[in-house]
Amino acid sequence: MSELISGGHLVAKALKAEGVDVIYTLCGGHIIDIYDGCVDEGIEVIDVRHEQVAAHAADGYARITGKPGCAVVTAGPGTTDAVTGVANAFRAESPMLLIGGQGALSQHKMGSLQDLPHVDMMTPITKFAATVPSTERVADLVSMAFRECYHGAPGPSFLEIPRDVLDAKVPLDKARIPASYRASTKQAGDPEAIERLADLLAHSEKPCILLGTQVWTCRGTDAAIDFVRALNVPAYMNGSGRGTLPPGDPHHFQLSRRYAFTEADLIIIVGTPFDFRMGYGKRLSPTATVVQIDLDYRTVGKNRDIDLGIVGDAGAVLSAVTQAASGRIQNAAARRKEWIEELRTVETQAYAKRLPRQHSDDRPIDPYRLVHEINEFLTEDSIYIGDGGDIVTFSGQVVQPKSPGHWMDPGPLGTLGVGVAFAMAAKQARPDKEVVALFGDGAFSLTGWDFETMVRFDLPFIGVIGNNSSMNQIRYGQAAKYGVDRGRIGNTLGDVRYDEFAKLLGGHGEEVRDPADIAPALQRARESGKPSLINVWVDPEVYAPGTMNQTMYK
Ligand SMILES: Cc1ncc(C[n+]2csc(CCOP(=O)(O)OP(=O)(O)O)c2C)c(N)n1
Ligand SMILES: [Mg+2]
């Protein structure tokens, strides 16, 4: 007779087949058999303090490793707690699998402990959500859920496994355990469209390209670099696409984006939707030729008319275009010298205008000074994470990751509380890297208890709290609308010593009030080799330009 195997052990085998080597979890009686399977398969179990963190960590793991992340949570409140993390991954196009427990099938609709309609709840925020109907199908459905994560633009999947299905044992030879079940996802785009884009590039005097999140998702960094260099195209980067080119690269531009989008004759948007971050496409010159490249057919041409749309993998498409254009581009590329110089002038002027703020000696500390110090502190091996409101808006302008894939922000859901989870996943997946996270005090408080998990698993990172004792990004809008007094309702936080909190939990902590102390404190945190929090008191009366313009609502 064939060996018997339980559902939890089948989950672990399927995770192993997918290459997943860690799960993020918070325990519950419904899911413990999965842990037992993980022991056999050598899969690490990282147990966190809140299920939201488990789901964000799975999202972060996917971003860092290029493999799907996995979070395992118990039925009912375990699963509802994880909803925000799944939703964040959904908007950020991050492939992850959430496995939720469920009451036994034999007690279906009887009011079992922690029973909820999880699949109904998860359906609108996942690419795939299903119940595993039998123990034999456990591994089959896990691999199906992973495959669904990669259909079009990636995203999360959800599976609930009823307790009796998970705990039951079936003969190993009756269980389907897929081992090879995925097609290549690298579509190079329609060859005719590639030719057209090559032609547009050959005739363009003032092209520019925006390298979005999918450039990193598709691991298209080298292709993007070849493209901008071979064709001499200035590049802007957003989301996880930041860092595709290093700061100082002749094709790296950031502060002149609005100017470029107004003046360019050809704008190529790669792997980022026309959502609020792009002003829904409204901020692009109406006379420019606009080309959009995306993994998802549904994203191309949405919210704004385009001249050419290409569905495909960012790296594969850009490589094909570079190849198609080489040979016919020589003069065209040389002609762009002036355009590049024009943008560089705009860029340099914008930088010079801000520099005094970045060097400000003010007390309380000007947030520009804080983010400037952080930017100076980052090395090629620092993964930077931003988690907060106004303080992170400042950092978006000033902090430049030095390497591809070294920038993490929540993405278009704008979820506060991703920071500790992303730090956890980044450090665990890439112990050779340094992790630097900037938090708003409001954002940190949402999921900050998981600092303890970082201590417990010995995952050192450098955490900085831009502490203004407020939910400042919201306060600005309230004060503008209702006046300064009424503008203080619902957005005030205490003067909390997050450095003491870090020490209480076994980490390193320091408080900074003087801007000259920021750099030495960062250095000491680096040398401490511990999870750390530097509590930097920043001026609550200073707001980022993006917050003052309320651009996120426009
Ligand atoms: C989970 C979640 N809740 C609420 C919001 C709305 N929100 C956006 S910015 C912000 C203030 C954040 O405060 P903090 O992290 O201290 O940053 P600050 O703006 O003060 O620099 C809030 C509450 C959100 N984006 N996410
Ligand atoms: Mg704050």
pTM of the model: 0.97
* C-alpha 478 – ligand 2 centre gap (Å): 15
The Å distance, Cα 411 to ligand 2 centre, comes to 19
8 Å CB contact between 160 and 102: yes
Rounded distance between C-alpha atoms, residue 195 and residue 323, angstroms: 10
pLDDT digits (tens, 9 = 90+) for 177-232: 999 999 988 999 999 999 999 999 999 999 999 999 999 999 999 999 999 999 99
**From the alpha carbon of 367, which atom of ligand 1 is closest?**
21
pLDDT band at 1 (very low <50, low <70, confident <90, very high): low
> Measured from the CA of 393, which atom of ligand 1 is nearest?
21
- Ligand 2 center to 52 CA (angstroms): 21
pLDDT value, residue 552: 81
Report pLDDT for 526: 98
- Mean pLDDT, to the nearest integer, of 129-135? 98
Q: What is residue 208's predicted lDDT score, i.e. its pLDDT?
A: 98
- Whether 366 lines ligand 1, by a CB cut-off of 6 Å, is no
Dist. CA 547 → ligand 2 center (Å): 13
> Quick check: helix, strand or coil at residue 22?
strand
Q: Determine the average pLDDT of the residues in 508-518.
A: 98
Residue minimizing CA distance to atom 13 of ligand 1: 471
496 Cβ inside 6 Å of ligand 1: no
Do residues 235 and 228 make contact, with C-beta atoms less than 8 angstroms apart?
yes
Closest CA relative to residue 492, chosen from 471, 476, 520: 471
pLDDT for the residue 492: 96
Q: Ligand 1 centroid to 466 CA: how many Å?
A: 12
Residue 446 Cα to ligand 2 midpoint, Å, equals 12
Q: Is 85 in the pocket of ligand 1 (CB under 6 A)?
A: no
Question: Which ligand is the nearest neighbour of the Cα of 543?
Answer: 1
Q: Is 536 in the pocket of ligand 1 (CB under 6 A)?
A: no
**Cα 1 to ligand 2 centroid, rounded to whole Å:** 63
Atom of ligand 1 nearest to the CA of 391: 21
- As a dihedral over the C-alpha atoms of residue 317, residue 323, residue 325, residue 326, rounded to 10 degrees, the angle is 150
Pocket test for ligand 1, best of 397, 473, 538, 543 (most atoms within 8 A of CB): 473
Cα 442 to middle of ligand 1, angstroms: 6
pLDDT, tens digit, 9 for 90 and up, residues 363-401: 999 999 999 999 999 999 999 999 999 999 999 999 999
Q: Is 388 in the pocket of ligand 1 (CB under 6 A)?
A: yes
pLDDT in tens, 314-358: 999 999 999 999 888 777 778 899 999 999 999 999 999 999 999
Antiparallel, parallel or unpaired: β 22-26 and 69-73: parallel
- Contact indicator for 405, 94 with CB cutoff of 8 Å: no
Confirm or reject: Cβ of 440 under 6 Å from ligand 1. yes
Residues 6+ apart with CB under 8 A from 135: 6, 7, 10, 165, 166, 168, 169, 170, 175
pLDDT score for 185 = 80
Residue of 353, 383, 388 lying closest to 370 (CA atoms): 388
pLDDT class of 546 with cuts at 50, 70, 90: confident
Please report the pLDDT score of residue 389 as a whole number.
97
Ligand 1 binding pocket includes 416 (Cβ within 6 Å)? yes
Give the whole-number percent of the chain exceeding pLDDT 70. 100
Per-residue model confidence as pLDDT tens digits over 99-115: 999 999 999 989 888 89
509 CB within 6 A, ligand 1:
no
Indicate if ligand 1 lies below 6 Å from the C-beta of 472: yes
Interval between CA 78 and ligand 1 midpoint (Å): 24
**442 Cβ closer than 6 Å to some ligand 1 atom:** yes
pLDDT digit string, tens, across residues 32-86:
999 999 999 999 999 999 999 999 999 999 999 999 999 999 999 999 999 999 9
Nearest-CA residue for atom 11 of ligand 1: 471
Q: What angle do CA 48, 10, 429 make, to 5 degrees?
A: 40
Write the CA distances from 113 to 83, 92, 122, 313, 406, integer angstroms: 19, 33, 19, 44, 42
Pocket test for ligand 1, best of 52, 387, 391, 416 (most atoms within 8 A of CB): 416
Question: What mean pLDDT is reported for the chain?
Answer: 96
pLDDT of residue 316: 98
Q: Which atom of ligand 1 is nearest to the CA of 540?
A: 20
